Structure 1
Amino acid sequence: MQISGHPRVEIVVPVRNEEYDLGPNIRRLREFLDTAFPFPAEVCIADNGSTDATWEIGCLLATELPGVRVVRIEQPGRGRALKQVWSRSDADVLAYMDVDLSTNLNALLPLVAPLLAGHSDVAIGSRLARGSRVVRRPKREAISRGYNLLLRATLGTRFSDAQCGFKAIHRDVAAELLPLVQDTSWFFDTELLVLAERAGLRIHEVPVDWVDDLDSRVAIARTVVEDLRGIARLSKDLGRGRVPLEPVRQVFGRPAIADPKTALAARVLRFAAVGVLSTIAYALLYLVLRHAMPAQVANLLALLITAVGNTALNRRVTFGVRGVANRGRHQLRGLVTFAIGWSLTASSLWLLHAAVAVPAKSLEVAVLTVANLAATVVRFSLFQTWVFDDEAPTLPTFEPPAVLDTTRSN
C-alpha cells in the first residue's frame, strides 16, 4: 500500500510512435506501483515527436488512471524527453524505463531504494552484472558487450551497462548534471553516467531480469554511429577540460579524483615494464627450448610459462590486485590473452618459414618479438576491460516486501 502525500518517485516513460504498446504497458506499470511498490510514485508519459496515435492514447490514459500524466515534446529524442521532464520535476527520485517493460518491474525498488536512503546518487539496471538474467538475440548481446568494453577502453568507465533502459537519479544530482549533458538521443544515458562518475558521484548497479523486445525498432547501425561520435566528442571535451565538473564535486562534497588519462598513463608504463621483462624471459626461454624441440613447440611452451608470470606480475604491479581472491579466474582469463598472443606468434612463424626455407634462430627470435609487441596492445586492452575487472565490491541488493501537460494526481 502506498504512502499518502507528495510523490517521492516519478517514472518517465519516453515514447515515440508506440500506439500499440503504450496502453497495456502503462496500465501494467500503474497496477504494479499501486499494489507492489511501497513509495508514492507518478508515471509521466513523455511523447517525443510521435506521428501516430501515441499522444491521443497518452491523454486518455492520463484521464483514466490516477497518478499518470502525459507530456508532449515536439522534437524526437529520448535524451531530450528525459532532460526536459526531469528538469521540471519536483519528485525526490527521477527514474525512467522503456515502454516495452523489458526489465522485470521487481527491480524497481532495488533501483530507487539506495537513492531514497541517500546511499547513492545514480542507479542503473545492468544486464551485464552478476545475478542478471537476460534473454536476447546474440547480435544485440555482442553489440552491448562490445560497446561497454569500448567505453572502458576509451573513457575509463567502471559501470557495467550504459544503455539499459532502466535508470534513476536523485533530483538534486539531476539539477547539477543535466545542464552539462549535450546529447539529446541515445547517447544521453552514457554521457550522464560518465559525467556522474567523473564528478565522483556514487553509481549503484542493480542486476536485472531482462527480456529482449522482438519488436524493437531501434536503428542499430545509426545508433552505433551516433554513439561512436558521442564517445569521440565527450572524450575530447573531457580531455580539454571543457566540462565543468569541479562545481558538481563541491556541491556534493566529493573529493577530486585522479585524471583518468594520468592514471591510465601510469598503468601503461607499469604494464610496459612488465612486458619488457616478460619479453626478455620469453626470448631466453625460447632459445633454451629451441635446442631440444621444434620451433612451434618451443614457442608454445615459452609463451605459456611467461604468460603465467606476466599475468601474476600485472595483477599485482600494474592493477594493484592483492590477495588470493579470484586469482584462479584471473589466470584463466590471462590464458585467453595468451591464446591470442600465441595465435599471432604462431602465424608469424608460419609465414617466416613459408618465406625462408631455413631461417636463422636469431631471425626467428626477431620475428616473434615483433609479433609479441603487436599482441601487447590487445593484451593490455583485455587486462584493462576484462581480466582484472571483477575487483569492484559486491553490489548490495534490496528485496521488495512547447509543452502540453495533462495531469491527474493520486
Structure 2
Amino acid sequence: MSLTTLPSHATDSTRFEAPVLDVVVPVYNEEIDLEPCVRRLHAYLSAHFPYRFRITVADNASTDSTAEVAGRLAGELPGVAAVHLPEKGRGRALKYVWTHSDAAVLAYMDVDLSTDLGALLPLVAPLISGHSDLAIGSRLARGSRVVRGAKREFISRTYNLILRGTLSARFSDAQCGFKAIRSDVAERLLPMVEDTGWFFDTEMLVLAERAGLRIHEVPVDWVDDPDSRVDIVATAVADLKGIVRLLRAFGSGRLPLGTLREQLGRNPLPVAGVPAGLTGQLIRFAAVGAASTLAYLLLYALLRTGVGMQWANLIALLVTAIANTAVNRRVTFGVRGNDGAWRHQAQGLIVFAIGLGLTSGSLALLDRLSANPSKPVELVVLILANLLATAVRFLMLRVWVFRSRRGAHTRD
C-alpha cells in the first residue's frame, strides 16, 4: 500500500507546502474514465481554485489498468497523487487517504464528475473559514438542478426518508458523491466509522449530526451517469444492514459520541424560537401528552354517558388533538408566530386521523371480542391504544409537521 502526499514535480515551488484542499477520486476499474476526469478536474482547479490543492486518485483493488493510468497522471500533472489499496471498498479508500493526508480540507467526488464543478468552492469555503465541519452536495435541496431517471429519483428520496424515520437524519442527501470534511474533524470522527463500502458516507454524516457538528449543504447541478455500474440491490441491502448496526450501537451506547461532542461539537445558541434537540423535545412532548391523555379520558368519560363509545372517542380525540397540536407547536417544537399555523393544524388533523384509526380500531376489536365489555377493560384498551398513537404522533410531528427547513443541524 502506498501513498504519495506531495506533488509529483520536484521543481514545483509548493512541493514542501501542504495543500489547503485534497480532492480524492476513489476508483475501481475505471481505466477509461479516469484520465479525462483527472485532467478536467486539474484544469478546473488550476484555473478557478484560489488555494493550493492536490488531487489524489485512490484505486481500491482495480483489476484492469487503472493503477497504471493513475501513476502516469501523477507523474505528468503537478499536484496529482496516486494511491493503490489491495482491498476493495470506496469507504476504505476514502478513510485511508483522508487519515493520511496533510491537507486542511478533505473532499471527494465520483470519477464520472456528475456534479458540476462550479459547486466545489461553495462546498469547501465554509470549511476553510471554520464556519462548518462537513459539507455535502445535495441533489434534493432547493435550488439544485438534477437530470436523472424516475427510478433513481425514487430510490434516492426513499432512502433519505428511511434515514429520517430510523436515524432522525436531518441532512437532505446522503449519497451524492460530492462531500468535504475538515481534517481536524476527520481525525476524530473517522475512527468511529466502520463501513468500508457505500454506506461510509451515511454513517459519517449520521455520527457527525449526533456529535453536534455543523453540516453545510450546497445545492448542486447533477447529471446522472447512464453507465454507472453500482449494484443498486446489493447497495440497498448493505445500507439497510448499516442502519440496523447504527441503531444497535446507539441503543447500547457503544459509540463515544459524548466525548466527540465535547471535543468538536457545537452547542446550540439559546435563540428564542429555535427548538432544542430530541431529548428536550421528548420531555416536553411527554408532559403535553400526559395532560392531553388526561383531558381526553375525562372528556370521553363525560361524553360516554350520552353517546356511544365511538362518538365519544371521536369528539374527545378531535378536541384534544387540536389543543395538543397548538401546545406542541409552541412548547415542544418552539414555533412562534402565526406563520404556518393553519397548515400545522391541517397536518395535525391528518396525524389525528391516524390516531383515530388506532383507537377506533382497538374499540372495534374489543366490541367484536366482547359484546358488553366492562368500563375498566374499555379504559385499559383505550390507554394502550393511545400510547401507541402517541408514539406515532411524536414521530410524525417531529419529522413532518414541525420539521425544520433550515440548513443548520443542531441537537442537544
Partner in structure 2 of residue 87 of structure 1 = 99
Specify the alignment match of 1:8 in structure 2: 20
Once superposed, what is the RMSD of the aligned Cα atoms? 4.0
Identify the match of residue 283 of structure 2 among 266, 269, 276: 266
What residue in structure 2 maps to residue 403 of structure 1? none
1-side partners of 2:67 and 2:75: how far apart? 12
Question: Are 1:388 and 2:402 an aligned pair?
Answer: yes
| Alignment pair present for 1:99 and 2:111 | yes
Q: 1:241 to 1:41 in 2, by over 3 A?
A: same
1: CA distance, partners of 2:176 / 2:360: 40
8 Å CA contact 1:115, 1:122 repeated in 2? yes
Q: Does residue 1:73 correspond to 2:85, yes or no?
A: yes
Greater relative contact order: 1 or 2 (C-alpha under 8 angstroms, separation 6 or more)?
A: 1
Aligned residues: 387
Aligned match of 1:337: 351
Distance verdict in 2 for CA 1:383–1:246, change over 3 Å: closer
CA distance in 2, matches of 1:19, 1:190: 27
Partner of 1:179: 191
Measure how far apart 1:176 and its partner are. Answer: 1.7
Aligned 8 A contact 1:270 1:318 in 2: no
The amino acid across from 1:49 in the alignment is: A
Deviation of the 1:80 alpha carbon: 0.4
Distance, in Å, in 2 between the alignment partners of 1:103 and 1:282 is 57
* Contact in 1 for aligned 2:330/2:336 (Cα 8 Å): yes
1:144 pairs with 2:156: yes
* 2:138/2:217 contact within 8 Å kept: yes
- Paired letter, 2:205: L
| 2:233 aligns with one of 214, 221, 236 | 221
Distance 1:330 1:12 in 2: 44
**CA deviations over 1:350-379 (Å, ceiling 9, x no partner):** 9899x79x999x999998887666544433
Which amino acid in 1 is paired with 2:208? A
Q: Please give the alpha-carbon distance, in whole angstroms, between the structure 1 residues aligned to 2:358 and 2:223.
A: 38
Per-residue deviation, 1:299? 8.1
> Shift of the alpha carbon at 1:169?
0.8
Residues 277-356 of structure 1: matches in 2 within 5 Å? 279-280=296-297, 283=300, 307-341=321-355
Identity of aligned residues (%): 58
Any stretches of 5+ residues in structure 2 without a counterpart?
Answer: 1-12, 270-275
Listed one character per residue, the Cα deviations across residues 89-139 of structure 1 (whole Å, up to 9, x for unaligned) are: 111110011222222222111110011111111112223333333343444
The amino acid across from 1:190 in the alignment is T
- Which digits, 9 at most, give the CA deviation of each residue in 1:217-276, with x for residues without a partner? 22233223322322332333344343334544444475599x978556525524632652
Secondary structure in 2 matching 1:316? helix
- Residues 338 and 142 from structure 1, CA distance in 2 versus in 1: closer, same or farther, beyond 3 angstroms? farther
Structure 1 residues 100-139: aligned runs within 5 Å: 100-139=112-151
Query: Residue 160 and residue 191 in structure 1: after superposition, are their counterparts in 2 closer, same or farther (change >3 A)?
Result: same
TM superposition score normalised by structure 2: 0.76
Q: Give the equivalent residue in structure 2 for 1:34.
A: 46
Contact 2:105 2:182 in 1 (8 A): yes
Amino acid at match of 1:192: M
Q: Give the 3-state SS of the residue equivalent to 1:242 in structure 2.
A: coil
